[in-house]
């Protein structure tokens, strides 16, 4: 059994994580900060964006895999994966916007999109567990 939705989501999250990792590295070089965030606000922002993805992506990917292994509806799963990914990108963009004193709306929409997708995936998985249809 293949997991195309999970694989694509994981690959995109991996690329976004690498992008953010290099943003953190670049800021560390600019501020000569080897450990922690120092007092540099941009360092705190790039570390926060990286950490937030690292905290949320594993749960979304795990839930996607469980549902995909359970033969969940492909297009619904794809839509929830897309919502999660769009949410993550909006969150990163929003962190940069917020840091530069611009709007916080992108960050808010990103958090809401990510949270709603993980909530829907969690409830769907729970439903399949309760009804005895998970991994059948």
User: What does the pLDDT look like over 31-83, one tens digit per residue?
Assistant: 888 887 678 888 888 999 999 999 999 999 999 999 999 999 999 999 999 99
In a domain, 135, yes or no: no
In a domain, 136, yes or no: no
In a domain, 34, yes or no: yes
Identify whether the C-beta of residue 110 lies closer than 8 Å to the C-beta of residue 94: yes
DSSP state of 102: S
In a domain, 101, yes or no: yes
Query: Among the listed ranges 3-7, 30-34, 81-85, 118-122, which one has the minimum average pLDDT value?
Result: 30-34
Beta strand ranges found along the chain (DSSP E): none
In a domain, 37, yes or no: yes
Number of domain units in the chain: 1
In a domain, 63, yes or no: yes
In a domain, 90, yes or no: yes
Q: How confident is the model at residue 100 (pLDDT cuts 50, 70, 90)?
A: confident
DSSP state of 135: T
Domain residues for 90? 4-130
**Residue 35 confidence (pLDDT):** 80
CATH value at residue 11: 1.20.120.550
- The predicted model scores a pTM of 0.92
Q: How many helices (H) and strands (E) does the chain have?
A: 4, 0
């Amino acid at each position: 059994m293949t997991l195309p939705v999970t694989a694509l989501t994981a690959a995109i999250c991996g690329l976004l994580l690498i992008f953010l990792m290099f943003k953190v590295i670049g800021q560390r070089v600019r501020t000569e900060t080897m450990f922690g965030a120092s007092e540099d606000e941009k360092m705190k922002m790039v570390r926060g964006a990286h950490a937030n993805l690292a905290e949320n992506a594993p749960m979304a990917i795990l839930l996607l895999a469980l549902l995909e292994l359970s033969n969940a509806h492909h297009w619904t799963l794809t839509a929830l994966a897309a919502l999660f990914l769009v949410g993550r990108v909006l969150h990163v963009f929003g962190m940069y916007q917020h840091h530069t004193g611009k709007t916080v709306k992108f960050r808010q929409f990103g958090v809401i999109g990510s949270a709603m997708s993980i909530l829907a995936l969690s409830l769907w998985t729970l439903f399949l567990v309760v009804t005895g249809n998970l991994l059948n």
